[in-house]
Structure 1
Amino acid sequence: MSDENDKKPEDDPQLAAKIKGSARQIWLAGLGAYTKAEEDTGKFFERLVQEGEQLESRTRGAVEKQIRSVEGRVEGVRERATGTWDRLEHLFDERVSGALRRLGIHRREDIEGLEHRIEALEAELSALRERSSRDEEE
């Protein structure tokens, strides 16, 4: 009895073999887990990429639709603003023209019209003088 009790566990070859076998199994399980994790990571990454592509294609249409909607609204606002600006400019021109007329200052178009009439009258007068001078010579 004392011989069996005196035996140390480190000296037991069966126990050492069992521990060695267990350690080897743990090591192999770790390698297998690492390999599996590596494979799963690649598959997981590929799945994430596919889901990202699907989400992008779904959201792209919605985003483009929103962009077109905003562009349409901006164009409408721009047209209204341009129309309003044109009306304001026209109203301003009319008011300034009216104020200038009341002050006795004529518009450029009026002055240019008068200049053309004067040129036409001068041409007629010149033509009349030439006829008159020819008639006197005869």
Structure 2
Amino acid sequence: MATHDDDKPRDPIKDSAQQIWLAGLGAFAKMQQEGSKAFEALVKDGAGLQKKTQQAAEETLSQAQTRMAGLASEFGAKTSAGWGKLENIFEERVARALEHLGVPSADEVAALRARVEALEAQLKARQAPAPRKTASRTAPAAEAPKRPRRRSER
């Protein structure tokens, strides 16, 4: 075998490894030269992505808040209606229990109050003294005015 490098048999694995090594060194050198530019480009891309993500998050939050407000309003309306029904049931049962015990209702008490007031008014009217006719009984009868005589009466 010859001792020159050109005379050596070539090893394809060594050649491939050498090329990979040289490509890595070339990439490293290029990154050193363009590193700051690449870094700045990455920062710019990251800031743009962050802005888009933040806008999407704010929109989603706004939509969620609107939905939650709607649900809260709907829940309040349903709850209010439920309490109204419960209140009506309670009032009806209490009214039936009071009626069963013989306690008069508010309408019956109001009607009774009006009836008592009317009876009191009638009683006062009967107890009031009758107006006296003092002037007509004690005073002498006034003379009737004289009328002129007619020709036939003369």
TM-score band, normalised by shorter chain: 0.5 to 0.7
Q: Deviations over 1:4-55 (max 9, x none)?
A: xxxxxxxxxxxxxxxxxxxxxxxxx9xxx59954x65555444433322221
TM-score, normalised to structure 1, is: 0.58
Partner of 1:93: 91
CA distance in 2, matches of 1:93, 1:83: 15
Alignment partner of 1:84 is 2:75:
no
Decide which structure has the larger Cα Rg and report it: 2
| Larger RCO (CA within 8 A; separation ≥ 6) | 1
Partner of 2:57: 59
Equivalent AA in structure 2 for residue 134 of structure 1 = A
Q: When the two structures are aligned, how many residues end up with a matched partner? A: 104
SS at match of 1:77: helix
Partner of 1:11: none
CA distance in 2, matches of 1:104, 1:46: 86
Question: Which blocks of at least 5 consecutive residues in structure 2 are unaligned?
Answer: 1-28, 134-154
CA distance in 1, matches of 2:127, 2:33: 117
CA distance in 2, matches of 1:62, 1:121: 74
119 and 56 in structure 1: CA distance in 2 versus 1, 3 angstrom threshold:
same
Q: Which of 123, 126, 148 is equivalent to 1:125? A: 123
Q: Deviations over 1:80-100 (max 9, x none)?
A: 111111111111101111111
TM-score, normalised to structure 2, is: 0.53
45 and 104 in structure 1: CA distance in 2 versus 1, 3 angstrom threshold:
same
Q: Which has the higher helix share?
A: 1
Question: Which blocks of at least 5 consecutive residues in structure 1 are unaligned?
Answer: 1-28
Structure-to-structure mapping, 1:14-29, within 5 angstroms: none
Q: Which of 124, 130, 135 is equivalent to 1:134? A: 130
Residue identity (%): 21
Q: Deviations over 1:109-129 (max 9, x none)?
A: 432332233123312332343
